[in-house]
């Protein structure tokens, strides 16, 4: 066998260069279009496009009053358990379905246009060595190509004036948005008030000429593993589909590298493409999450953005921008070993690992190994709740911290700034709690 390979080697070598010239000429005179969009979705439609509603963008966040912007039931302690019978889910569906909408978008998409043609596509059979070389040589050169495509998603009404919550990825790069009310009663054009890709949330507005059904936002922190929920949406274009399931887990960290802030509710209530943006509803008829993602390799593993996360970022959505303030520190939950080393015997706390140079944190006097015991007067009950609070903090926001250093308690006050105002930008890998 080795001898045969040596006999064929001179012939193959003589064929390579002529074949290369022939196929290179064919490649330069041909083109093919890949129909697969890129994995990373770039921003192709900017915030100054007509699809964005800019009515609130001149308002300062300190002047924003969202007290009655969404409905919320607060009598949690006096609630009676919901009795379960054969009509429980049917009655709940009748209660909420008119507030769930279908969202259809015409969007700008970026695809790969590849000039050239692979020589292996022209060969009747694959030739050893030659085919391998052709696979290595980049005969096809990718060039960005923009086209328009249709997509679908779901959403739900939170305000009688026509404000709708959905996922950011449902309306990203949208050129036109149409919202269809329950059971196809009527469709309305919609505009984007604001969206936040970090939490995958978006706020839309329609001008309705009829009374609208509104869904209240519940307290997602009160959810328990095993609690029963419903998911309502537009899966695969099957309008207003309802599925039931359980809360499988809470505070699931996103598997995507860019979603470092996102802590999801996991549910086994069926969520499919097109369900994104629809509500996850508890048995009291409250939205406890926005259905946003599935695990394609598994069955009945879906994720929802918690309702309390949505509440934190609502001011950013209303104002139409998602610019967050920068403080310039990295902090992690205090471990038992660190607590012993630092002679700390209190409750939950954070320990500072790093303070950025010339940052507000450094200017306020914070140092590594300082222990943060309170934030804006609230104790550090849980690390994830602290991270969620930071999602809604904007440049110019004053924050207060109570820290312990060498057993002595100190009060720290500082103001968040824009990252662009810092001469040396922080490392992109910096922990988001900064």
Q: Which residues are catalytic?
A: 169, 200, 276
Contact 231, 291 (CB under 8 A): yes
Residue 350, burial from CB neighbour count under 10 angstroms (0-12, 13-18, 19+): buried
Number of H helices, E strands in the chain: 9, 19
Structure tokens at 402: 């109570």
> In sequence order, what are the beta bridge partners of 63?
none
Nearest by Cα to 107 from 44, 174, 195: 174
Would you tell me how many other CB atoms lie within 10 Å of the CB of residue 266?
18
3-state secondary structure of 218: coil
Between CA 235 and CA 278 the distance in angstroms is: 10
298 CB contacts (<8 Å, ≥6 apart)?
none
390 CB contacts (<8 Å, ≥6 apart)?
324, 432, 433
DSSP alpha helix (H) spans, 143-293: 168-171
Helix axes 307-319, 383-390, angle to 10 degrees: 10
């Amino acid at each position: 066998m080795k001898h045969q390979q040596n006999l064929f080697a001179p012939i193959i070598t003589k064929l390579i260069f002529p074949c290369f010239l022939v196929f290179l000429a064919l490649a330069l005179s041909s083109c093919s279009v890949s129909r697969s969009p890129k994995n990373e979705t770039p921003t192709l439609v900017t915030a100054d496009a007509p699809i964005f509603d800019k009515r609130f963008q001149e308002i300062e966040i300190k002047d924003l009053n969202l007290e009655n912007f969404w409905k919320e039931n607060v009598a949690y302690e006096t609630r009676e358990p919901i009795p379960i019978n054969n009509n429980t889910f049917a009655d709940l569906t009748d209660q909420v379905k008119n507030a769930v909408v279908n969202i259809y978008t015409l969007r700008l998409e970026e695809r790969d246009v590849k000039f050239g043609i692979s020589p292996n596509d022209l060969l009747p059979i694959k030739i050893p060595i030659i085919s391998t070389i052709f696979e290595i040589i980049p005969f096809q050169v990718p060039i960005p190509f923009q086209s328009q495509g249709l997509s679908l998603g779901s959403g739900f009404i939170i305000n009688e004036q026509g404000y709708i919550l959905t996922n950011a990825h449902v309306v990203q790069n949208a050129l036109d948005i149409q919202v269809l009310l329950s059971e196809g009663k009527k469709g309305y054009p919609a505009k984007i008030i604001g969206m936040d890709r970090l939490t995958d949330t978006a706020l839309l507005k329609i001008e309705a000429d009829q009374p609208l059904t509104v869904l209240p936002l519940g307290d997602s922190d009160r959810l328990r593993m095993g609690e029963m929920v419903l998911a309502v949406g537009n899966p695969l274009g099957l309008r207003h589909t309802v599925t039931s399931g359980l809360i499988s887990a809470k505070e699931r960290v996103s598997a995507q590298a860019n979603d470092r802030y996102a802590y999801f509710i996991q549910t086994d209530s069926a969520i499919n493409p097109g369900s994104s943006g629809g509500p996850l509803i508890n048995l009291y008829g409250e939205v406890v999450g926005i259905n946003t993602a599935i695990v394609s390799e598994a069955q009945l593993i879906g994720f929802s953005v918690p309702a309390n996360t949505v509440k934190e970022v609502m001011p950013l959505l209303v104002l139409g921008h998602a610019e967050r303030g920068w403080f310039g520190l990295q902090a992690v939950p205090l471990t038992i070993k660190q607590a012993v080393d630092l002679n700390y015997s209190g409750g939950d706390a954070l320990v500072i690992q790093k303070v950025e140079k010339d940052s507000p944190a450094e200017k306020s006097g914070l140092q590594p190994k300082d222990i943060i015991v309170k934030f804006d007067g609230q104790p550090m009950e849980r690390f994830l709740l602290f991270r969620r609070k930071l999602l809604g903090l904007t440049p110019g926001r004053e924050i207060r911290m109570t820290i312990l250093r060498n057993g002595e308690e100190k009060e720290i006050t500082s103001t968040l700034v824009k990252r662009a105002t810092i001469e040396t930008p922080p490392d992109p890998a910096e922990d988001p709690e900064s």
